[in-house]
Amino acid sequence: MSVAKLRAFLAVAQHGSFSAAARALGLTQPTLTTQVQGLEQQHRVELFHRRGHRIELSSVGQQLLPIARQLSTLETEAYNLLHDCGELNRGELKLGAVGPFHVIEMVDAYRQRYPRVSVSIRLGNSAEVLAALESYAIDLGVLARFHDAPHLTSLDYARHPIILFVHVDHPFAQRRSIALQELHGQPMLQREAGSTTRRALEKVLREADITPRIAMEIGSREALREAAARGIGIGVVSEAEFIPDARLRMIRINDDPAYTETHLYCLTERRQSGLLNSFFDVAGECASTRQRRGTAGTG
């Protein structure tokens, strides 16, 4: 059953004649008559009684009329939904991220541009975010490591140096930066295996043949910050994730040899979605702004 035929039936019922219905729909009368007759012939029913120039709804037509009105209303609602979503006057975006820092920055900029689009965020590790992305549980993923895969499309968002933080009474606390070699033998607080920050720092330490002493392995940024605040060891975190604390001092490593990155991902097959594309555009603008600020700060 075609929507056009039902629309033709409804117009005739509402306007009381085929000619008036044809004018209302912008059709020729023969075209509209053919559509109504086609509906009748398809189901072997009579929808109208023709009495000269007058038409009346048959019993079947009277029963079909409220259904046709409901379908017309639903058709209009479907059109409005698709139009509004296409124009980004409504919609829903689901994001997954390994941390709240840059995803919040992106979402804030996006909501200023598209305030009527609903955005939700779920946090998890890299494996959880990737799995949610591939199962369509989320639309976009914000990850701290580059994943080179043909089914994923990415945007390089930012690069962040890895910094250290220590208790205010630590010998390093009065210095703004230290050499990487000074970490040899130092008690370090280490994130769990699989941490992007841990992986990045371990790589540069290994290449420089530097071996710190691991004081403790800790599975959360919050617990690691508390351990450093109690003087148990030296904390390590991406600069973007460091939260100032009166008990702590932040220290850079000379020349910033270790760093993490932030990347925005979606499934390649969904990259042309208007909704997803709008988020990529806003995130790209944010990334460019961050890069310009960083370049200006080094001049």
Report d(CA 180, CA 256) in Å as an integer. 9
Query: What is the separation of C-alpha 88 from the centre of its chain, rounded to a whole number of angstroms?
Result: 14
| pLDDT tens by residue, the chain, 299 residues | 688 899 999 999 989 899 999 998 999 999 999 999 999 999 999 999 987 778 899 999 999 999 998 888 888 778 777 877 777 888 889 999 988 878 999 999 999 999 989 999 999 888 889 999 999 989 999 998 778 889 999 999 988 899 999 999 999 999 999 999 999 999 999 988 877 888 889 999 999 999 999 999 998 888 999 999 999 999 999 887 888 999 999 999 999 999 988 999 999 998 888 889 999 999 999 999 887 776 444 33
| Kind and range of the H or E run holding 64 | helix 59-86
Which CATH architecture does the domain made up of 96-156+266-297 adopt?
3-Layer(aba) Sandwich (3.40)
Q: Say whether 175 sits in a helix, a strand or coil.
A: coil
**What is the domain partition of the chain in residue ranges?**
3-86, 96-156+266-297, 158-260
Quick check: 251 and 165 in contact, CB under 8 A? yes
Cα→Cα distances 255→134, 163, 178, 179, 235, Å: 37, 11, 10, 9, 18
Q: Say whether 286 sits in a helix, a strand or coil.
A: helix
Q: What is the pLDDT of residue 77?
A: 73
Choosing among 1.10.8.10, 2.40.50.180, 1.10.10.10, 1.20.120.80, the CATH entry for 3-86 is 1.10.10.10
In whole angstroms, how large is the CA radius of gyration of the chain? Answer: 32
Assigned CATH topology for domain 158-260: D-Maltodextrin-Binding Protein; domain 2 (3.40.190)
Q: What is the pLDDT of residue 297?
A: 44
Token duo for residue 132: 């949610």
Measured from the Cβ of residue 158, the count of other Cβ atoms closer than 10 Å reads 20
Residue written as token pair 């086609």: 38
Residues linked to residue 178 through DSSP beta bridges, in sequence order: 253
Helices and strands in the chain: count of H runs, count of E runs: 9, 12
Q: What is the pLDDT of residue 294?
A: 64
CATH topology agreement for domains 96-156+266-297 and 158-260: yes
Using the CB atoms, write b or e for 168-207: b if 16+ within 10 Å: eebebeeeeebebebbeebebbbbeeebbbbebbeebbee
Q: What is the pLDDT of residue 295?
A: 47
The answer to whether the pTM exceeds 0.85 is: no
Q: What is the pLDDT of residue 99?
A: 80
Residues whose CB is less than 8 angstroms from the CB of residue 209 and which lie 6 or more positions away in sequence, other chains included = none
Residues whose CB is less than 8 angstroms from the CB of residue 279 and which lie 6 or more positions away in sequence, other chains included = 93, 106, 110, 140, 264
Query: What is the separation of C-alpha 94 from the centre of its chain, rounded to a whole number of angstroms?
Result: 5
Token duo for residue 200: 């990045």
Query: What is the separation of C-alpha 79 from the centre of its chain, rounded to a whole number of angstroms?
Result: 24
Q: What is the pLDDT of residue 83?
A: 74
